Chain A
């Protein structure tokens, strides 16, 4: 109980700082924090799908992209940006619901490839769609509320929603069902969970958050174009942030996004080597910290926490990555889970 109240206090202090910062600092720090908020929100969105329903999507940028286009079109009609972003996000959500019946037939890595290709197909389509500006994309009108601090607030509101929404869901009946689907689809189907529905709902909410991110991003960049909107790398950076931070937790994606964003900004001054160093560091972190950065936080917080067995169940996910160097079976297969996922492939 004590830790819970502590983290709530911590969150309030954190939010206070976020609100106050634009009054004290201007310019560059805001830019960094804005980028951070966008990355956090996108990572949370991906985390919701992956950690809570086992949906390894590699085309997550698709939803941000669709929402981005819709936001631009709606906003250019003279509708306020905030409403446009919401409409955009709802469109993404609707789109996710529409494609779900097709995508949900695919499992694990097939789902990943399916989403990836869907995203690619959209990129190609928008590249050749004259009304969508082809490869040049669309430009957002200079809306009256446009300013760095407004974009900053908008991004943090979205980051806040992206963090709180999964939190609410996980506590709910839906969240429980989603977790069971993640662990074993067939079994949860056999004990009465409408798995297709659950997956679709989680996917749709995840798409909604991604849509909000897409809307905010376009509100700040003022331009949307196919390579940005449907970029494979964007999707992968979200994956990266989540895995780096620790899957299945709410703090993990925040940590991961913070590290990735700081890395990006810290290495800006050695442009020739920045990506190389980033890549090497990511590999090292994943090898030596297989459960993500969250495990460091846990280690640090360990002395603070008193053992209490009567409280609510502990955080349910241990992080998923394990290094199998001291695995108990000498002949063991290292990607068992992957094999099972593929073998249980549905027609």
Chain B
């Protein structure tokens, strides 16, 4: 499979503290790549850099062989890159349908009536059709999470970054989310999945990357990594995966 996105020696410092140091890896088309690591490992920072919401101190990102670092986020989005947020960030004073419609119109660049149809499809995909006209701020936290995912999907992404989608969800909700993610993979979306809860990632991803203190410490098939001592070290006292 061809390389869709490659991260080339990306470093990022915040006022002298290195959040990321020389991180390099590739994401292959059609894969689900799991990105794991303890708190403060720099996972979210990396996603923001991929989205061009942050500018790396060194290094760059290549997408389909082209350097995209330095583009504005909305142009990045139009290339087919999209992300969800750890804390859901829907547009709180708009209703669900409008929330998704914005992305369909601008991110995916659809015509008005096409966009409306697409928005409905997406809402259905994330089980929010019933809440079409509910104001986003009035949804439950989990519904907001779903909506956040829907917004990310509305831009018709080829490469989707999920920032801890499962954090704080009940088992039933986890199952619901995982089913959506699987469906997306089947549709051919490449996914970079940042997660704290390891079990689901290990079960579902094709490739796994471990970050610790801003550095990539491991890369490989999930089963190999789980047994690696360095991985266990990084997670000691953190998680009993």
Contacts and interface: CB of A to CB of B under 8 A. Distances in A.
Contacts of B92: 183-184
Given A190-B83, A191-B152, A177 B94 contact: no
B192 interface: no
Given A176-B98, A177-B102, A186-B53, A192 B108 contact: yes
Interface in B106-133: 106-109, 112, 132-133
A313 B98 contact: yes
A194 B109 CA distance: 12
A134 interface: no
A192 B85 contact: no
Nearest to B134: A313
Given A187-B85, A191-B82, A318 B93 contact: yes
A318 B92 CA distance: 11
B46 interface: no
A314 interface: yes
A187 B89 contact: yes
Interface string B35-54: 00000000000000001010
Contacts of A188: 91, 102
Interface stretch (B6-14, B69-77, B165-173): B69-77
Contact of A194 (B74, B90, B99, B108): B74
A305 to B, nearest CB: 15
Q: Which among B106, B132, B133, B154 has the greatest number of chain A C-beta atoms within 10 A?
A: B106
Contact of A190 (B82, B90, B98): B82
Contact of A191 (B94, B112, B132, B155): B155
B107 A191 contact: yes
Contacts of A195: 74
B93 A192 contact: no
A145 interface: no
A143 to B, nearest CB: 44
Contacts of A184: 89, 91-92
Contact of B98 (A179, A186, A194, A318): A179
A195 B102 CA distance: 12
A250 to B, nearest CB: 16
Interface residues of B, number: 36
Contacts of A179: 91, 93-94, 98, 102
Contacts of A248: 93
B193 interface: no
Contacts of A141: none
A317 B93 contact: yes
A314 B95 CA distance: 9
Interface string A135-147: 0000000000000
A193 interface: yes
Given A192-B77, A313-B133, A180 B91 contact: yes
B57 to A, nearest CB: 14
B94 A180 contact: yes
A189 interface: yes
Interface residues of A, number: 26
Interface string A291-322: 00000000000000000010001101110100
A192 B103 contact: yes
A72 to B, nearest CB: 40
Given A173-B105, A173-B112, A194-B74, A187 B151 contact: yes
A242 B196 CA distance: 45
A217 B68 CA distance: 50
B97 interface: yes
A183 B77 contact: no
Nearest to A183: B91
A189 to B, nearest CB: 4
A56 B201 CA distance: 44
Nearest to B77: A192
Interface in B21-40: none
A190 B91 contact: no
Interface in A2-46: none
B78 interface: yes
Given A176-B98, A184-B91, 7 more contacts: A179-B94, A187-B151, A190-B74, A192-B74, A313-B95, A313-B132, A316-B94
22 contacts: A173-B105, A176-B101, A179-B94, A179-B102, A180-B94, A183-B92, A184-B89, A186-B89, A187-B85, A187-B151, A188-B91, A189-B53, A190-B73, A190-B82, A191-B155, A192-B107, A192-B155, A195-B74, A313-B97, A316-B95, A317-B93, A320-B93
Q: 9 closest A-B pairs (Cβ-Cβ)?
A: A192-B107, A183-B91, A192-B77, A192-B106, A191-B103, A189-B73, A180-B102, A313-B133, A193-B106
